[in-house]
Amino acid sequence: MTATASCCSSPVAWARPRAAPASASAAALRVGRCPAVAVAVAAPDVAFHPDVSRAAESLQAEFRAVDRAIALNSSRVAAAFRRARVAPHHFGGSTGYGHDDGGGREALDSVFADIVGAEAAIVRPQFFSGTHAIACALFALLRPGHELLAVAGPPYDTLEEVIGIRGSANVGSLKDFGVAYREVPLAADGGLDWDALACSIRPETGCAFIQRSCGYSWRKSLSVADIHRAIDLIKMQNPNCMVMVDNCYGEFVETSEPAMVGADLIAGSLIKNPGGTIAPCGGYVAGKKHLVEAAAARLSAPGLGVEFGSTPGHVMRSLFQGLFLAPQTVGEAVKGGLLIAEVMSAKGYRVQPLPSVPRHDIVQAVELGSRERLIAFCEVVQQTCPVGSFIKPTAGETPGYASEVIFADGTFIDGSTSELSCDGPLRDPYAVFCQGGTHWTQWALVLSDVLKVI
């Protein structure tokens, strides 16, 4: 039986190829080819673990559904590029204040806003993380005396010090500026508590904060439909309450984005989904035009707005190209998550989300149950990475995180979670959070090795 495939990114039936001729060199000479080519053709097959191959075969329908989403998102992205008349001169970059950038900055902002359905966007390399972009958006929306309401339970660890619920006082947190904080606990099933949300908005609630992805919580990631329903509930209680969505890990997973369903601002990182694995840095804020301008003033300074900030030419080109490639790379990451869930759940591990269910972000969580298994899993991932495979990941304190965290991210872009990576806090239930992968077969290879040690 030979290997078959419906397309280059679909599951395949992996089998050992026919045996090479007894004398590869003689065979090559008979057909007029050099021996080196014959040796390369006859190289040994690298097969997946049988359990991984079976899981990939069982997911063909789910993979095809992902391919359909890739096609729709790719079409939307390509159309936005054409409408903005993107041209080579937009890749020239700039220096100093960034005044003379050939229109690249404006074109990139326009393309991004068009893609996510926003009035405006600011896409900048000066945002050095998703947390930085989200913080700029929150400070744009909130003023002393306001309340920030988290509607999906506790936020991601790195936002705790931004809000002021952890860490030292007088470092410039929202709490230091007189902004109160409250959260709506999740429902028993790990989703939003709709009954509680329906009566949660107070007169002083200046911003309702929705975290789309699970973060380090064992909860469901939110669909755009869930976010739409939440926004409607919030606006019914107070139309003036702003809604901010942490969109990290969610871009291009579905065929619509939160700004299309009423979010006032969304924010995220370019070294996650929208960077297409090649953006070297940066983040974005998108949404209502006057609010984007307020976030830009937080990034730079009041009065400077969106007209400042230089970007080297090689970076500007990468931001455009990464955004263009993002639907495809996100789709492959989604397929990798489906495969992780299928393989690990079959081995008796709890997974979130469950296998074969629709995806709303690229994160796949696996509850490993012990510190030792979490570390072992991350070590295997690191050993399989193309960069730093010889490095042994160790748990330790990381700025912004409440617990010891272990990271496996042998990536070309430091910290890129669009590339194959995983991480997890060293605390009960010792869950590993997997994401990225430029092709689903990367995770198939990792899982083949994971099954030998877990």
Structure tokens at 337: 């998550």
| 173 touches 209 (CB < 8 A) | no
- Which strands, in side-by-side order, build the sheet including 350-352? 350-352, 364-367, 431-435, 421-425, 405-408
pTM as predicted = 0.88
Residues of the chain with CATH 3.40.640.10: 90-323
What is the SS3 string spanning 224-237? Answer: HHHHHHHHHHHHHH
Residues of the chain with CATH 3.90.1150.60: 50-70+325-451
Q: 429: cis peptide before it, omega within 30°?
A: yes
Higher pLDDT, 29 or 389: 389
Res 181 pLDDT > 70: yes
Q: Position 442: which residue type?
A: Q
Res 236 pLDDT > 70: yes
Structure tokens at 402: 């409440």
Report percent pLDDT > 90 for the chain: 76
Which of 95-109, 243-257, 290-304, 368-382 is the least confident region? 95-109
Q: Which fold has domain 90-323?
A: Aspartate Aminotransferase; domain 2 (3.40.640)
Tokens 């035009």 -> residue: 289
Average pLDDT over residues 318-335: 98
Confidence (pLDDT) at 32: 38
Question: How confident is the model over 248-268, as pLDDT tens digits?
Answer: 999 999 999 999 999 999 999
Res 228 pLDDT > 70: yes
Res 28 pLDDT > 90: no
Confidence (pLDDT) at 45: 52
Residues 6+ apart with CB under 8 A from 326: 73, 77, 251, 252, 273, 274, 275, 276, 418
Residues 6+ apart with CB under 8 A from 195: none
Question: How confident is the model over 272-284, as pLDDT tens digits?
Answer: 999 999 999 999 9
Residues 6+ apart with CB under 8 A from 141: 206, 207, 242, 244, 264, 265, 291, 294
**How much is the mean pLDDT over the chain?**
89
Confidence (pLDDT) at 224: 98
254 vs 72: CA distance, rounded Å: 9
CATH code, residues 50-70+325-451: 3.90.1150.60
Sign of CA dihedral 126, 131, 137, 143: negative
Average pLDDT over residues 392-409: 83
